[in-house]
Structure 1
Amino acid sequence: MYTITTRLSRGLTVSALAAAMAVAGCANMSETQSDSAKGAGIGALGGAILGGLTGGSKGATQGAVIGAGAGALGGYIWSTRMQEQKKAMEQATQGTGIGVSQTADNRLKLDVPADAGFATGRSAVNPTLARVLSQFATTLQSNQVTTVAIIGHTDSTGSDAVNNPLSFDRANATRDYLVSRGVSPARFTTDGRGSREPIADNGTAQGRAANRRVEIYVAEPAQTAAR
């Protein structure tokens, strides 16, 4: 069990989060239950701090309760189907350099380095990525309430006139391959960010390689899953 005490700038002391964080730390939870509980704890923390700053200790307590609810519900859920999809994609991407993770807002993320998916300056899906996407399409079909956002990025080499359309083209090529494997086009959104959102230093070859990427996000909306 965790007890969190936060001293605010007004000299107020808040101890409103023990219950929410205790739930997040309890044993014998499934991974899905634990993820939802952690969301409640994080939401409670933010709510308590904000409430304390604006309404004293009473505001902190109320903020913790509201924040816990928002953190547990969120915009997306991490269901058993999402967890199964993550495990399947971890197996499918072994040795490819493609990363698979769960984001803080309960989306499944595939991080595809350009070197693992596309030839330099090209947008055609290469055979390695094609194999992964074929398996990915199968997992998408097993959970058809999910939506998919695909975002392309480039390094800073070259001009925006080249990088911006290339990032779009790679995102769209990824979508088109999945559609060709039977996934409904209505489930996708695509975007290209060019070189505007680097995750590493473009001043090094290693950093530029990290920045050349396609990110795929799978989300299961909470309101859809509740129906």
Structure 2
Amino acid sequence: MRLTVRMLAAVTAAALAGCAADDPNRRAKTGAAVGAAIGAVLGNQAEDRSRGRIVGAAVGAIAGAAVGSYMDRQRRELEARLVDERARNDLAITELPDGSLKVGVASEATFELDRYDLRPQALQTFAKIADVLRRYDRTVIHVVGHTDSTGPEGYNQALSERRAEAVASFLVAQGVPAERILTEGRGEREPVAPNDTPEGRRRNRRVDIVIRPVVEGREAEAYAPPPPLGR
């Protein structure tokens, strides 16, 4: 299921208002609160699906010849900011065949088992990512949740959606404009490893942040769903 996040900013503000200012887990709770509330606002969002473009989104475009260097600079900044996380194998940054960037974040570094509220220790990681995304603002950000195959398929689908929404809501809380973000859950459908081993299942539980450039004359392509992200 593919979801737009046009109203995440308003939901996030309401969630923040409902959390005590001195609560050390305030931002993590915001992610959970928005994840729970987002279903109520999705019906009010408008998307021109025939063009794959959010109606009213105002994201600047990049001239075609400059796209490669723009995305290369963004990748280098992400790699520099996320050195520790990469060393711990908490995430990996890769370039997709279409020139988009993918930041794949392991669920163990982000969520407790069967939960979709962000771990407190994950907040620093996503804050670093958000800082880069704010500055490289000529992109559309797709947050895609994945699970392993343990449990019912419907449960896994819903969990993957809620985890994607929680990450997206935190990015919005960090100042990334909501109109640049789309979320999607792909459940257990796109594994990156076999599900018949603990290590394979661990690798399959993840959230992918796909960063797609908005190219002049081809703006709609940035809003189209990312290609399959499994093996």
- Class of the TM-score when normalised by the shorter of the 2 chains: 0.5 to 0.7
Rounded to whole Å, the distance in 2 between the matches of 1:95 and 1:76 is 33
Rounded to whole Å, the distance in 1 between the matches of 2:210 and 2:194 is 23
Residues 157 and 86 of structure 1: CA distance in aligned 2, closer, same or farther (over 3 Å):
same
Residue 98 (structure 2) pairs with residue 105 (structure 1) = yes
How many residue pairs get aligned? The number is: 152
Show the counterpart of 2:70.
81
Aligned with 1:183 (options 160, 166, 176): 176
Show the counterpart of 2:82.
93
Show the counterpart of 1:27.
none
Q: Which has the higher contact order (CA 8 A, sep 6+)?
A: 2
Residue 149 (structure 2) pairs with residue 160 (structure 1) = no
Residue 115 (structure 2) pairs with residue 126 (structure 1) = no
Aligned with 1:137 (options 130, 145, 150): 130
Given that residues 76 and 221 in structure 1 are in contact (C-alpha distance below 8 angstroms), is that contact kept between their aligned partners in structure 2?
A: no
Give 1:118 deviation, angstroms.
Answer: 1.0
Rounded to whole Å, the distance in 2 between the matches of 1:182 and 1:135 is 12
Residues 77 and 155 of structure 1: CA distance in aligned 2, closer, same or farther (over 3 Å):
farther
Residues 192 and 225 of structure 1: CA distance in aligned 2, closer, same or farther (over 3 Å):
closer
Q: Which structure: greater helix fraction?
A: 1
Given that residues 76 and 220 in structure 1 are in contact (C-alpha distance below 8 angstroms), is that contact kept between their aligned partners in structure 2?
A: no
Alignment identity in percent? 33
For residues 6-36 of structure 1, the C-alpha deviation after alignment (integer angstroms, 9 at most, x for no partner) is xxxxxxxxxxxxxxxxxxxxxxxxxxxxxxx
Aligned with 2:140 (options 126, 135, 147): 147
Give 1:91 deviation, angstroms.
Answer: 2.4
For residues 169-204 of structure 1, the C-alpha deviation after alignment (integer angstroms, 9 at most, x for no partner) is 110001000000111111111110111111111000
Give 1:220 deviation, angstroms.
Answer: 0.9
Residue 208 (structure 2) pairs with residue 219 (structure 1) = no
Q: Secondary structure at the match of 2:157?
A: helix
Q: Secondary structure at the match of 1:148?
A: strand
For residues 135-181 of structure 1, the C-alpha deviation after alignment (integer angstroms, 9 at most, x for no partner) is 11111121212100011000011112321111001100010000001
Mean CA deviation greater in 81-90 or 141-150: 81-90
Residues 195 and 91 of structure 1: CA distance in aligned 2, closer, same or farther (over 3 Å):
same
Q: Secondary structure at the match of 1:104?
A: coil
Rounded to whole Å, the distance in 2 between the matches of 1:76 and 1:171 is 32
Q: Secondary structure at the match of 2:84?
A: coil
Aligned with 2:193 (options 190, 200, 203): 200
- TM-score normalized by the length of structure 1: 0.62
Give 1:86 deviation, angstroms.
Answer: 1.2
Larger radius of gyration: 1
- Give the letter aligned to residue 219 of structure 1: R
- Give the letter aligned to residue 158 of structure 2: P
Unaligned 5+ residue runs, structure 1? Answer: 1-74
- TM-score normalized by the length of structure 2: 0.61
Cα RMSD of the aligned pairs, angstroms, is: 2.2
